[in-house]
Amino acid sequence: MRWPRRDRVRVVLRRLYRAEVPEARRFRYALLGLDLVSIGWIVTASFLPLSTPVLAVDVGLGLVLLAEFAARVGASARPWRSLTQPLELADLLGILSLLLAPLLHGGLGFLRVLRTLRLLHSVRLITSLRSDLPFFRQNEEAALAAAQLGVFIFVMTGVVFETQHRGNPHITNYSDALYFTVTTLTTTGFGDITLQGPLGRLLSVVIMLAGVTLFLRLAQTLFRPNKVRFSCPDCGLQRHEPDAVHCKACGILLNIPDEGEG
């Protein structure tokens, strides 16, 4: 019996988004590339005057991202339920801000930074990285902590830029906002750029508190002894020393595979 066309399309989409076959992994790497291109354009556009070509690129990029969003939702087992997920809603708002740019004349552009949240939650991509790149597999926690810090910096830079560039003469593009964000979250605080108004002060507090927390987490993953991810067959402990012979929690004999000598 032949499946309806819609069901066949969903099967193909699920394979691309979830399967661990080479073509599916290449597809997800391409999606990461698309995300990076969209983020790069958001940064680049902050240096350009609002013009017809800039708005045209916004709309074109928005259409591509909308098509990918529709494909991702179509690959879900429960499409309508997936639309209620916070990350999916954030992604959709970011896409709409691009599509509506000509009508809004660049307004609500800060919503575009919400697309960066996808970079933290692409579980299948993380699985592909773990299996494809030994370096990532050995340093997974540090890599994820660095990614979280990087995404936080970019998102807060976008929020600072969009809330300040219209009224703060010291913040005219993303580089100014990035400079302020980094000096604030590192508590350096040179003071040559400050945020204006109660909202600006609140943003500064959030950047400092969250930035210190993320820096501490990254430092912990960098300086504590490296461990491997291997589930103990008896107690389920996930993290062990690379040369562990017995589980330190229950004492059962382990058989942790190594990378071998190549």
Instruction: Say how many CA atoms lie within 13 Å of 174 toward its Cβ.
Output: 19
Tell whether 118 and 102 lie within a shared domain: yes
| The predicted structure's pLDDT at residue 4 | 66
| The predicted structure's pLDDT at residue 236 | 81
pLDDT tens track of the chain, all 262 residues? 445 666 788 888 888 888 878 888 888 888 888 888 888 887 888 788 888 898 899 899 999 999 999 998 888 878 888 788 887 888 888 888 888 888 876 556 666 666 666 665 555 566 666 667 777 767 777 777 787 788 788 888 888 887 888 888 889 888 899 999 999 988 887 888 888 888 888 989 988 888 888 888 887 777 765 677 778 888 888 777 777 888 888 888 888 776 554 4
Tell whether 128 and 5 lie within a shared domain: yes
CATH code of the domain in which 72 resides: 1.20.120
Domain boundary among 137, 153, 188: 137
Look up the domain containing 187 and give its range: 139-224
Pairing state between β 228-229 and 239-240? antiparallel
The three-state secondary structure class of 169 is coil
Copy the structure tokens of residue 180.
């302020």
Tell whether 6 and 132 lie within a shared domain: yes
Nearest to 34 by CA among 62, 73, 12: 62
Tell whether 119 and 4 lie within a shared domain: yes
What does the alpha-carbon distance between residue 37 and residue 166 come to, in Å, rounded to a whole number?
Answer: 26
- Say how many domains are in the chain: 3
Asked if residues 94 and 158 have their Cβ atoms less than 8 Å apart, the reply is no
Tell whether 30 and 120 lie within a shared domain: yes
| The predicted structure's pLDDT at residue 229 | 74
**What Å distances lie between residue 45 and 37, 168, 196, CA to CA?**
12, 18, 23
What does the alpha-carbon distance between residue 218 and residue 220 come to, in Å, rounded to a whole number?
Answer: 5
Residue with tokens 């790149």: 133
| The predicted structure's pLDDT at residue 261 | 43
Asked if residues 210 and 185 have their Cβ atoms less than 8 Å apart, the reply is yes
